[in-house]
Amino acid sequence: MRPSTNPTPLPLPLPCPPRWTGVVGRGGAPPPQLPHPNQPQGPKGHRKGAGTPFNTRERRFMSRSLKKGPFVADHLLKKVEHLNRQGEKRVVVTWSRASMIVPIMIGHTIAVHNGREHIPVFVTEQMVGHKLGEFSPTRTFRGHVKTDKRSRR
């Protein structure tokens, strides 16, 4: 076996500069944050709408684009329109929980699937704008388990 002959030693790696230039070491306070020049300023230099994350008050009633309109499954809309033309009030069975309730559904009973069975939902005027799935709960709450002192022994 031949001994390795390395004429020059390997250079040591250079220390990495800190990623954030404001780091002063342990216990040092970070530099104060200055507002961005393009950030809109309110009174006393505060941001507008700082108390409401993502401006929820303005966006509360626009969960879907007005350009797109409400989502209603095509087969459900066709069935309800057909029943309106015939003047009948029959139960319409659907699996579409994501469909929004529109005014032409008022007065109809729609059976919405909850994963196990179809729950009949009678559509009233106050339900317009809500989703069908909101009125057929998928989980049943059976109450909290009572603590029994005898079972702990």
pLDDT at 38: 67
pLDDT given at position 142: 87
Q: How far apart are CA 105 and CA 100, in angstroms?
A: 10
Q: Output the pLDDT for position 54.
A: 45
Query: CB atoms < 10 A from the CB of 79, how many?
Result: 17
Sketch out the chain's domains with CATH numbers. 92-138 (3.30.860.10)
Distances (CA, A) of 46 to 40, 41, 58, 72, 123: 9, 6, 19, 42, 46
Query: Residues 117, 94: contact at Cβ < 8 Å?
Result: no
Contacts of 106 (CB under 8 A, 6+ apart): 123, 124, 125, 128
Residues 139, 142, 144, CA angle at the centre, nearest 5°? Answer: 120
**Average pLDDT for the chain:** 78
Residue 101: predicted pLDDT: 95
pLDDT (0 to 100) of residue 144: 87
Low-confidence ranges of the chain (pLDDT < 70): 1-7, 10, 12-64, 66, 148-153
What does the pLDDT read at residue 133? Answer: 96
pTM for this prediction: 0.54
Predicted local distance difference test score (pLDDT) of residue 90: 95
